[in-house]
Structure 1
Amino acid sequence: MASSNTTSELADGASAALGHSLRQEFPFDPDYRNFNQGSFGAWPTAIHTRLREYQDRANQRPDPFIRYELPKLLDASREAAAALLRAPAETVVLVPNATVAINTILRNLTWNPDGRDVLLHFSTVYGGCGKTIDYIVDAHQASNTPVSSREIPLQYPFEDRDALAAFESAVARCAAEGKRPRLCVVDTVSSLPGIRFPFEALTEACRRHGVLSLVDGAQGIGQIDLDLAALDPDFFLSNCHKWLFVPRGCAVLYVPVRHQALIRSSVPTSHGYVTTQAHTDGTPRFNPLPESTNSHFVSSFQFTGTVDCSPYLCVTDALQWRQEVLGGEARILQYTQTLAREGGKRAAAMLGTEVLENSTGTLGRCGMTNVALPIQFTADGNAGLSAAEVPVVTSWILGKLMEDYNTFIPLFHGNGKVWARMSAQVYLELSDFEWAGRVLLEICQRVAEGEHRGAAN
């Protein structure tokens, strides 16, 4: 592969060529093709080096680093993430992942005792978020503040107006049933399928109806442009370890000042918590950490137990690397979104299928593409494979992709088809999507020949 520039070589403001020349900047197996940035992310060797440096500093001088240096470094990372999101620094804290973030929000909210509160979410909600909603509902069933949930169904490919209409309909149905839609979870880019949601219009619709907006941007930061000042959601979260090249796990949790009193505790609760209960001797509980000058909200998340916070500290480094080596966020987004769109079309043409998109082209305005596989499922299997075989087929294909082709491409079933979700990245080129098209075509031919049935038996 061609040699790419290093940070030191780019002091004159130049930037590296995007594509295969960047592969050497990442610690991938030379034979592995990474089409799944959207699940667990990947970060360059330069950031990995910085991660190890932070860990070494913590080991060399544990107490001085963890007690005194770490809070300042966390503030710097919060400020860097907040600047990218166009949000005030005092509204952004760092947590391990999006799941912790949504749990923090939903577990802190209190519900009205009349039992009319409803949590809304779309049918494309990420499974972990859906399970968190299920837990909140289950945990309050036996209490004096029961809460319910309602799924808003979507049939993709949908138009932006369809999603908005479905939300409006759900709100109206709640009102007709005497229910109160309290909060709605809205994706920026959903997981499966990997499509962009009209989250701006939905956030505004929530505001009009007095519904709290929880914008799940787990796939957002680093993949699409985000402006929280303009969006003004009630809550927002996003994983930094997926698309921003920050080591696992690191996520941002945004809570505007107007709602920070609602988030009384981090998850887990630790020294930052302020109780309303009086202790028997009248003195506060002992806090072994230095006093913080930050707000209660920010201070609560500075220390939540002894964990490795080194990934949090890499936010600043990752953003600097993206600017100095890759040329900045605008250049990255233009490359990845264009590659996703064109790469998806090329793979679909090779497979003789289609890309998941609507008539206005809004679903694909992100760094992922969803391509249908040439596999037909029917209820009885007469015109193809039986619908009952879907789990077996998808599991077999995933296994073969890893074993025989040294890659991984997430699959999902919808609208009677199996779809492949591919992430575009700065280290990929159009030829990689052509390779993926050939591989998926070959493996689908193996399915047509019944090879998966032999494995199942």
Structure 2
Amino acid sequence: MTQLDFSGDPPPFGHPMLKYFAFDPNYVNLNHGSYGSLPLPVLAACNKLTLQVESNPDLFVRVKQTELITKCRAQISKFVGANMNEIVLVRNASHGLNTIMRSFEWNAGDVIVTCNTTYDAMQGLARFLHDGPGHPEVSQFVIQWPTSHAAIIARYRAHLESIPRHAGQKIVAIIDSITSVPGALMPWQKLVQVCKEAGVYSVIDGAHSIGQEMNIDLSKADPDFWVSNCHKWLFAQRGCAIMFVAERNQGIVKSSFPTSKLYVSPQDRTFPGESFIEQYNWNGTINFVPPLSITAALEFREWLGGETMINAYCHDMAVRGGAYLASFFGTRVMDHTGEFTCNMVNVQIPLPSDVLPSDEINDIFYHKMLAPTNRKTKVSAGIFHHNGAWWTRCSAQIWTELSDFALLGSVLKEVCAEVVHELGLNQNAGWSNEDR
């Protein structure tokens, strides 16, 4: 592993791991899921590759780059159990999902199925497509926790069956593998099968999957489309993602975005997926170092002990940390059965239920957590409103210890009280035993 500028055995998980990251010593990161966190050895590999690029850009772009992209695609394809000819590198999950969704030729009567927990940018994409040519309708499926995987599957099947059908109609479902807010593992493989039975295209937003969800096997799950960020949980450089397009659907995604010089018009193709891979190897001058850092990230994870060891620690820390916070606040975890929990845990925070969600509330929370005036330590975790209550989404990582949850608890209790005071509310307003 000398090429990553570290050697020997890794330290134990927990705070000893912090030396492999560039965090401010006064910053406690329980929000890794939002933006990812780049390990210093992977950063060193990126810097080395950047110097290689800049030493001779012509040689790198014209000769070396495609070779490295091909190697990277081979590695990550194996990691997610996909055929290599169905995987390309893109900038981020939103980029990939936009490429897919904008490739459909929308007609009147077509339907896009979203969910109330669909990532907000994807909700915006669905609205944008509805406003464009063809005006596909948007049908929203609603999930409110507490619930179960079985209930979601049954209700999703009923939701698809309730959509009026007609000849020539397309129905395209955007499905999260792990929802962003709340951070919850979905039964996405079974929802893919429900879509197949209903004749619905499945577009899986797997932004949080790679590096957090164990045993991803796209060949077995067989979605129509699937996209996942590699800079979130896999430890690659921000931002990079992979886009999976099943070979049967590569005639739908006719062009990369931006369109490559290697684009082939449909009438000139000898097979539907012709030029699919090649277009993503070159579609303008961009920095390929972030996606190529996937190779270094995979090597770093192998050095740490591999996927099972990494995720066992992170999952256990999420469960224990969530239980601690719920006890500290006198509240509850959202997922009391554990079937929705990978390495993110959602815990109700002591904020009155009559405090309604707004940009102002979010700004107050994040300013007081990340730029405090009354304490030295900064702490990050997601804050959101769901089903009449306020929650924190905490991401457990290889550097996390229970003391980090304790610090977050004390900060959030303090911030919740300040929010109530600033809004002129009663601390107990709208706070019932049922909430607890």
TM-score using structure 1 length: 0.86
Q: Establish whether residue 417 from structure 1 lines up as the match of residue 370 from structure 2.
A: no
Q: Deviations over 1:305-352 (max 9, x none)?
A: 11111011111111011101x100111111111111111111111111
Q: 1:408 Cα deviation (Å)?
A: 2.0
Q: Is 1:274 matched up with 2:260?
A: no
Give the whole-Å Cα distance in 2 for the aligned partners of 1:227 and 1:34: 30
Query: What is aligned with 2:244?
Result: 254
Please tell me the residue identity of whatever aligns with 2:287.
D
Residue 442 of structure 1, CA deviation: 2.0
CA contact (8 A) 2:205 2:227 kept: yes
Offset at residue 451 of structure 1 (A): 3.7
**Aligned-residue CA RMSD (Å):** 2.1
Question: Given the two structures, how large is their TM-score scaled by the length of structure 2?
Answer: 0.90
Contact persistence 1:195–1:363 (CA under 8 A): yes
Question: Does 1:105 find its partner at 2:83?
Answer: no
| Structure 1 residue 394 corresponds to structure 2 residue 362 | yes
Aligned to 2:210: 221
Q: Which residue in the other structure is 1:67 paired with?
A: 62
Within a 5 Å distance, the mapping from 1:16-165 to structure 2 comes to: 16-111=11-106, 113=107, 115-140=108-133, 145-165=134-154
Aligned equivalents of 2:66, 2:274: Cα separation in 1: 13
Number of matched residues? 413
CA distance in 2 between counterparts of 1:95 and 1:58 reads 19
Structure 1 residue runs of 5 or longer lacking an equivalent are 279-293, 379-385
C-alpha spacing 1:47/1:158, structure 2 compared with 1 (3 Å): same
Amino acid across the alignment from 1:175: P
1:350-405 deviation per Cα after TM superposition (whole angstroms, max 9, x unaligned): 111111115x43112x1101111111123xxxxxxx53x75433321221001224
Does residue 367 of the first structure (1) align with residue 343 of the second (2)? yes
- 1:443 and 1:179 mapped to 2: Cα distance? 54
Match of 1:437, SS?
A: helix
Matches within 5 A, 1:335-414: 335-358=313-336, 360-364=337-341, 366-378=342-354, 386-387=355-356, 391-404=359-372, 405-414=377-386
Classify 1:442/1:89 alpha carbon distance in 2 versus 1 (closer, same or farther; 3 Å): same
- Give percent identity, aligned residues only: 33
> Against the structure 1 CA distance between its residues 179 and 419, is the aligned structure 2 distance closer, same or farther, given a 3 Å change threshold?
farther
Note the alpha carbon deviations across 1:167-205, whole angstroms, 9 max, x for none: 222212213799946111111110111111111110111
CA contact (8 A) 2:5 2:41 kept: no
**Residue 197 of structure 1 aligns with which residue?**
186
Deviations 1:78-106 (A, max 9, x none): 11111110111111100000011011101
> In structure 2, how many angstroms separate the alpha carbons of the residues matched to 1:343 and 1:216?
27
Distance apart, 1:18 and its partner CA:
0.8
Q: Distance in 2 between matches of 1:53 and 1:392?
A: 43
3-state secondary structure, aligned to 1:241: coil
Q: Which residue of 2 aligns with 1:289?
A: none
Q: What is the distance in 1 between the residues matched to 2:45 and 2:153?
A: 43
Q: Following TM superposition, by how much is the alpha carbon of 1:54 offset from its aligned partner in structure 2, in angstroms?
A: 1.4
| C-alpha distance in 2 between matches for 1:17 and 1:6 | 19
Taking the aligned partners of 2:335 and 2:226, their CA distance within structure 1 comes to 26
Shift of 1:124: 0.4
Counterpart of 2:379 in structure 1: which amino acid?
T
CA displacement at 1:263 relative to structure 2: 1.2
Letter in 2 for 1:296: S
Structure 1 segment 430-445 matched on structure 2, within 5 A: 430-445=402-417
Aligned counterparts of 1:243 and 1:295: Cα–Cα separation in 2: 32
Contact 1:272 1:296 in 2 (8 A): yes
Q: What SS class does the counterpart of residue 29 from structure 1 fall into?
A: coil
- More moved, 222-231 vs 18-27: 222-231
Q: Does the aligned pair in 2 maintain the 1:185–1:213 contact within 8 Å?
A: yes
Say if 1:393 and 1:452, in contact at 8 Å, map to a contact too: no
- In 2, are the aligned partners of 1:171 and 1:181 still within 8 Å (CA)? no
Structure 1 equivalent of residue 8 of structure 2: 9
Change (3 A) 1:391 1:177: farther
**Following superposition, which runs of at least 4 residues in structure 1 exceed 6 angstroms of deviation?**
176-179
Q: Is the 8 A contact 1:392 1:452 kept in 2?
A: no
Does the CA-based 8 Å contact 1:116-1:178 persist in structure 2? no
Counterpart code for 1:363: F
> Corresponding residue for 2:428?
none
Aligned AA (1:374)? P
Instruction: Please state whether the residue corresponding to 1:151 is helix, strand or coil.
Output: strand
CA distance in 2, matches of 1:299, 1:92: 11
The one-letter code sitting in structure 2 at the alignment partner of 1:268 is P
> Does structure 1 conserve the Cα–Cα contact (< 8 Å) formed by 2:5 and 2:44?
no
Q: 1:115-150, CA deviations, whole angstroms, 9 ceiling, x for partnerless residues?
A: 22111111100011111111111112xxxx442111
Would the aligned equivalents of 1:35 and 1:422 in 2 still touch at CA under 8 Å?
Answer: yes
For residues 276 and 227 of structure 1, what CA distance do their matches in structure 2 show? 30
